[in-house]
Amino acid sequence: MASPAKKQFPLRLDPALWDEIERLAARELRSSNAQIELLLREALKRRGIKPAESPAPRRGRPPGAVDEDPTREAGGETGAEDPAGETRPPGEGSAA
């Protein structure tokens, strides 16, 4: 999903060029979009142009977020309750 702060526009590329960008992106563990952005920044830098850096997008849960499922313990599964009301350890089948 694109960041709302980034400019979106359609880009028409030669299919052979696109294939090389995808291949390079996969080799460097980037998305094709991130690879194109990197290549553009490198080309501008070679010409002596340094665009301002955008702040990195904030990822993950916001500070102070509360877990919506109070039955779930941090770090793992919780035990399940069988029909008789007894708690079983996680991963055990139901009582027959």
45-96 residue pLDDT tens? 999 998 887 777 777 887 777 766 666 665 555 555 556 666 666 666 655 5
Do 24 and 32 touch, CB atoms closer than 8 A?
no
For residue 30, the tally of other CB atoms under 10 A from its CB is 15
**pTM across the whole model:** 0.53
Tell me: pLDDT of 28 over 60: yes
The CA-CA-CA angle for residues 32, 37, 43, to 5°, reads 125
Nearest CA among 48, 28, 47 for reference residue 38? 28
Q: Mean pLDDT throughout 21-43?
A: 95
Task: Look up residue 95 and give its DSSP letter.
Answer: P
Q: What is the mean pLDDT of residues 4-29?
A: 93
CA 94 to chain centre: 36
Please state the rounded mean pLDDT for residues 7-19: 94
How far apart, in whole angstroms, are the C-alpha atoms of residue 50 and residue 48? 7
Using alpha carbons, list the distances in angstroms from residue 39 to 35, 45, 54. Answer: 6, 10, 16
